[in-house]
Amino acid sequence: MDFRILSDVSNVETIARGRGIGELKRLRRVYGKVNWRKRKGIARIKLENGTVKLAELHWYEGTGLGRREYKIKKYLG
């Protein structure tokens, strides 16, 4: 992860689940065969260079495993 999440993630939504996730086969191979959801939300983050920004984040969430593989999709401010 090349950034750190500074605040709680808000406005969390599920964008895909199960077979609707393009990376499902890889996720199951790497982390295990659980129910996976792709989610998105908004949080304040700190980049490696020290800049603090508001960003839309996407990640995968597995039942019993928690959140995995955060990605910055776009900056909001």
Q: At 65, give phi and psi (nearest 5°).
A: -105, -25
Q: Tens of pLDDT along the chain (77 residues)?
A: 589 999 999 999 999 999 999 999 999 999 999 999 999 999 999 999 999 999 999 999 999 999 999 999 999 97
Q: Can you give the pLDDT at residue 45?
A: 97
Q: Can you give the pLDDT at residue 50?
A: 92
Provide the whole-model pTM.
0.90
Q: Can you give the pLDDT at residue 19?
A: 92
Q: Which element (helix H / strand E) includes 28?
A: helix 24-31
SS3 17: strand
